[in-house]
Structures are given as structure tokens and as C-alpha cells.
Structure 1
Amino acid sequence: MKLSGFINSHTEQIIKQWESVARTLGAPANQLSTTALRDHVKKILQEIALDIVTVQSVRQQKEKIEGTAVVAVDDESAAATHGILRQLSGFSLAQLTAEYRALRAIVLRLWLPQINRISEETTYDMVRFNEAIDQALAESVTTFSDQETRTRDTFLAILGHDLRSPLATMAMAGDSLSRLGEPKDSVRLIGARVVRSAATMNAMVNDLLEYARTQLGGKMPMIMETVNVEEICQAALEDASAAHPDCVFELDTSGNLIDSFDSDRLQQVFSNLLNNAAQYRTTKQPVTICAKGGPEAIIVTVKNLGPVIPSKSLAAIFTPLIQLTVEGQSHSRPSTSLGLGLFIARQITEAHGGTITVESNETAGTIFTVKLPRRKTLQ
């Protein structure tokens, strides 16, 4: 059987085996749904099968061998789209190339037993297949790298813009305070602006430091001690209130909230979630944080009513440097998100052995749920 025909007639079998291998690549591959993991793999196989039987000139073959063939990056290329989606989903370049390595091996392993003898035609099919899959890999790598560059440039642009704003506020406040004869009410107002600007910059710098630590392979240091989660939530609420003075925050607690955690880290988790909720809320409804102590875990939820987060955004919401998009957003929000807050929140939660999830719909709003398993047995 010719290789192109085998690929087309055994596509589902190939993809099923490929998926089982892809699941072993680690996060986020083992966390995606089947649909999200497979995304354009079927179309990539179809394009490879078509490429194998497409007549090519000696010049075209030479360009493929030398790696100088034109790499398609338009919307019609499944491999190109695959590279973009993998970058947005948080895959590494090594994971992307491993997917293609697995696809190549699985196709050949399934096809070769169907061949009675190795002929010139068989060899030609294998050469064309390897050329086609290398071309698809090149397209995916190109768009992956381009998307990564755009993401990094966007991140740096947001960082520069958002740090400049609070710095300008603090500079103007300092200039005003240096003048004599300022009324007391004016001094109080200027002081409040300084506090808000400092809180914004502090949150951004904290996120940057944690992100840098994770990217450099450093282990997140944890200092466990007996703490009251209610007090941590209250401190996070005060941080968020300083950064968002126009937002109403509400705290609700119940059950035993005392256990062994890193209080500073958890405060960063809840502050990031509250800041995120404040940016995407409706102006008429409060942002709520609710902590419930159960026998096996402490569960903290942060809820805001506002535009629904699309499912495609939910799938990548904890990926670093991703800017959240929402549907039907009618109000302007301050651009203070570096795309790191939710990523850091997940890293800290997982370091505590916990989980963080999100759901979003028109009725309930957007709800982040942090589940922290107890480290101490309740008496």
C-alpha cells in the first residue's frame, strides 16, 4: 500500500496512538482536552499525504533538502496554525518538536509492516514523507517562534507603559508635596495616589520576580507556618482595594480556616485573583472572596460578574504572558495586566499541593476556585 493512501485510510488509528504519546510530554499537553490536543493534527496528516503524491521538481527537492523551501505561514497551512496554537497553549519548542518526532515514528511503524518488500517506490514514498513532515515541522516552528516574539514584545510594551503610569503619578505627587502651603485635604488625596501607585508597581514587580524564578528553574521557596486564611484573605482584599479604590470588595468566611501555609505566598495568590476580578467586573456589582474551611481542604473562591470569558481563553488562562480576552466587554479597564498574575497564582497553589480552576458563564459570572488540602488533621 502506498504511504499516502495508508495515511488517509488509517488517520484515526495514527492520531489515537499519537495522542497517547503526546500525553506523556507533561504540562500542558497532559492537561488539554482531546479536541484541544489533537487540534490540527488530522489536517496536518492530510496535507502530508497530499504532499507525498504531489509532483515536485529537482529544484524543489533540492530546496527541501537544503532547508530553503518557502515556509507557508498563511491560514491555509494546518502546520502553521498548529505552531501558533501550541505557543498560546503554553507548549515549549521542545514539546512541539517532540510531537512531530512521535508522529513520524508512529506513521512509519504502522505502515512498514504492510509492505511485503522494500522497493524503489517504497523508498521514494519514505523520502517524500520525511520531506513533508520536516516541512510541516519547519512551518510550525516558524509560526511558534514568531508568536513567541510577538508575545514577548507585547509583554515588554505593556510593562513599559504600565510602570510609567504609576511612576508619573508618584513623581507628580512628590512635586506637589515639595511645595509649601498645600491644604491638608490635598495632601491626603496626594498620599492616597502614591499608595495606589506603589501598590500597583509592587504587584507587578512581585509577579515579575516569581515569573523569572520559574523560568530559570528555581524552586519556589515556601515558609510553612500556622496561619488563619481569613486574615490572609483580608490582607489581600486591602491590597486590591488600594489598587482599585473604585471597586467594592466583600469577604465571606466560614468553618475552620487555620492550617499550615505560606501566608505571604497565599496573599499573593488571592491579591492576583482579586486584582484580575476587579479589572473585568461590572461597575454595579462587588467582587467577592469566600473562604470555607472543610475537614479535608480549605476552599477559597473569587467571583466577579462581568463579560463571559470564552472557552478558548479559559483553556490558556493560566499560561504566562497571555492577555485575557472577554466577550461583550462594554467598559474600559485599566491596562495593568502583564499576563503573569494568574500564572503565578497557579504556581503558588500547586506548590501548596492544591489546585486552581476557573469557570465563566452569564448567570454565575467568573469564579476562580482555589482548593488547598489541609496539612494538619482537624481534632
Structure 2
Amino acid sequence: MRLTEFIHANHKSIIEDWVAFARTLSPWSDGMGEASLRDHAEELLTAVVKDMNSPQTLMQQSEKSKGNALDGALALIGQKHASDRLETGISLDQLVSEFRALRASVLTQWERTQSNSQGEITRFNEAIDETLAESTARYSETVNATREQFLGILGHDLRNPIGAIIMGAQLLIESGGLESVEIATGILNSGNRMSRMVNDLLDLTRTRLGSGIPVVLSGSNLETVCRQAIAELQIMLPKAKLVFG
């Protein structure tokens, strides 16, 4: 039996091994159902078998070894799997370990049949490596894009509270005292917002060190948030008429 035939005939037990390993990746896997843990495992095995059964020249093999394989089913599956896993909060090390475990599962089960074909094992390893390369590339691209977007949003949102603080301070200096409670309150609110943004920036720093951004769900009053934003603008633009309704 060829390795491709073996994978096709034993894909259920291979997928069971995949799911069992994914379940060990705690705390990421905690509370996840079998379908989520399985993800694209079956599609991946199908693409691997198809790739191994397709003819390959020495030039194509050389390009694969350099990471220059043409985009195809393996690349697409690798990208999709990375995107889905990233949404669930998996780390890059855990993503890589899934492919390492899949390789070990297939080759271990294959050895039990006492079959041996070095050429087929080479093709199998090439297919896994290609998919892994695409997955890690997509993972890194998505993480980097998310970080850049976060920094862009943070920088934009900092402008209003900082502007309000500067203008409020100038008005206090011109007034010659701290009798304006409304202005002082605006400064306090803006300072609090900046403090929360600094905390967000610190959370982002933690992601650069490998941890995820902690998310705490809580209730919020959208009207209050909007009124605070308008109050900040009013301090920056004291002569403007701002209406909330």
C-alpha cells in the first residue's frame, strides 16, 4: 500500500490523533468542541494526498525545498487554518506543534504497516512543510497587521483627549485660577481616558512578548461615552456649538 492510499484509508484515525493532540494545548483548547479542534484537518489530508499523487519535476522539488512552491490547495488550506486558529487565540508555537504532531501521527501509523518508501515519505514531508510555511506566514502577517491597526487607532484616539488637556490648561492659566469646575472635570475625564489608552498600549506590549490581549467584558453606557467625547471637543472649541441628539 502506498503512503497516499494509507492516508486515505486511515484518515479517520489520523484526524482523531489531530483532535486529541489539539485538546492538550491548554488553556487555548479549554472549552473547545471537537469540530473547532478538528478545523481543516480533513481538507489538509485531502490536499496532501492530491499533492503527493501529482507529478513533480526535480526543479519543482528544488523550489519547494526553498519555500518557493506555487500557490495551490496546500497553500490555501494552510492560510485558512492559520486565520481560523488565530481568531481563537492560538500561539504560533502551538500552531506549529499541530503540524509537527500530524507528521508524527502519519509516519508512526505508516511504520506499523511495515511499509517503507523513502520517496513517498519525502513527498509527504514536503507537503506538510509547504502547508506549515503558509500557515506561519499568514499567522505572522495577520498578527502584524492587527498590531499596526491597533497602533493607528490608538494614535488617532489620543489626539482628542490630549488636545482637550492642552486647551483646558491654557484656559485655566488665562483665567488665573481653578474656579472653573467644568473645565477641571473635562481635564480629569481626558486624563482618565489617556490612562486607559496607556493601559491598552501596555497590553499591546505584552502581545509582542507572546501573550494575548486580555479582554474583560463589561456593560457600558453609549450616551455617557458620547457626551464625554463632546465635552472634550467643547473644551478644544469653546466657541463652537456642539449638539448631541
TM-score (norm 2): 0.79
Aligned residues: 223
Would the aligned equivalents of 1:166 and 1:198 in 2 still touch at CA under 8 Å?
yes
The alignment status of 1:147 with 2:146, answered yes or no, reads no
Code of the residue aligned with 1:201 in structure 2: it is: M
User: Within 2, Cα distance between the matches of 1:78 and 1:150?
Assistant: 20
The alignment status of 1:44 with 2:80, answered yes or no, reads no
**What is the CA-CA distance between 1:166 and the residue it aligns to?**
1.0
Would the aligned equivalents of 1:22 and 1:30 in 2 still touch at CA under 8 Å?
no
What is the SS of the residue equivalent to 2:24? helix
What is the SS of the residue equivalent to 1:68? coil
Instruction: Provide the residue aligned with 1:278 in structure 2.
Output: 220
Q: After superposition, where does 1:251-266 map in structure 2 within 5 Å?
A: none
Instruction: Provide the residue aligned with 1:192 in structure 2.
Output: 185
Code of the residue aligned with 2:46 in structure 1: it is: Q
**What is the CA-CA distance between 1:183 and the residue it aligns to?**
11
Code of the residue aligned with 2:38 in structure 1: it is: R
Q: Deviations over 1:209-261 (max 9, x none)?
A: 4664686599xxxxxxxxxxxxxxxxxxxxxxxxxxxxxxxxxxxxxxxxxxx
**What is the CA-CA distance between 1:53 and the residue it aligns to?**
0.1
**What is the CA-CA distance between 1:142 and the residue it aligns to?**
0.9
**What is the CA-CA distance between 1:176 and the residue it aligns to?**
2.0
Cα gap change, 1:72 to 1:156, in 2 (>3 Å): farther
Would the aligned equivalents of 1:7 and 1:45 in 2 still touch at CA under 8 Å?
yes
Code of the residue aligned with 1:196 in structure 2: it is: N
**What is the CA-CA distance between 1:71 and the residue it aligns to?**
5.0
Code of the residue aligned with 2:106 in structure 1: it is: V
- Return the structure number with greater relative CO, CA threshold 8 A, min gap 6: 2
Code of the residue aligned with 2:156 in structure 1: it is: H
Greater share of helix residues, 1 or 2? 2
TM-score (norm 1): 0.53
Would the aligned equivalents of 1:72 and 1:80 in 2 still touch at CA under 8 Å?
no
Cα gap change, 1:84 to 1:216, in 2 (>3 Å): closer
Cα gap change, 1:73 to 1:6, in 2 (>3 Å): closer
Q: After superposition, where does 1:123-202 map in structure 2 within 5 Å?
A: 123-180=118-175, 187-202=180-195
User: Within 1, Cα distance between the matches of 2:131 and 2:210?
Assistant: 31
Structure 1 gap segments, 5+ residues each: 219-268, 287-330, 335-379
Q: Deviations over 1:272-311 (max 9, x none)?
A: 644xx326x6x6xx9xxxxxxxxxxxxxxxxxxxxxxxxx
Instruction: Provide the residue aligned with 2:8 in structure 1.
Output: 8
Cα gap change, 1:210 to 1:154, in 2 (>3 Å): closer
Would the aligned equivalents of 2:7 and 2:49 in 1 still touch at CA under 8 Å?
yes
User: Within 1, Cα distance between the matches of 2:39 and 2:142?
Assistant: 17
Would the aligned equivalents of 1:72 and 1:139 in 2 still touch at CA under 8 Å?
no
Structure 2 gap segments, 5+ residues each: 230-245
Instruction: Provide the residue aligned with 2:241 in structure 1.
Output: none
Code of the residue aligned with 2:167 in structure 1: it is: M
Cα gap change, 1:28 to 1:17, in 2 (>3 Å): same
Q: CA RMSD in A?
A: 3.1
Q: After superposition, where does 1:1-379 map in structure 2 within 5 Å?
A: 1-71=1-71, 77-115=76-114, 117-118=115-116, 122-180=117-175, 187-209=180-202, 212=205, 273-274=217-218, 277-278=219-220
Q: Percent identity?
A: 37
**What is the CA-CA distance between 1:174 and the residue it aligns to?**
1.3
Would the aligned equivalents of 2:18 and 2:101 in 1 still touch at CA under 8 Å?
yes
- Largest Rg, 1 or 2: 2
Would the aligned equivalents of 1:71 and 1:138 in 2 still touch at CA under 8 Å?
no
Q: Deviations over 1:125-170 (max 9, x none)?
A: 1111111011010110110111011111112112212222211111
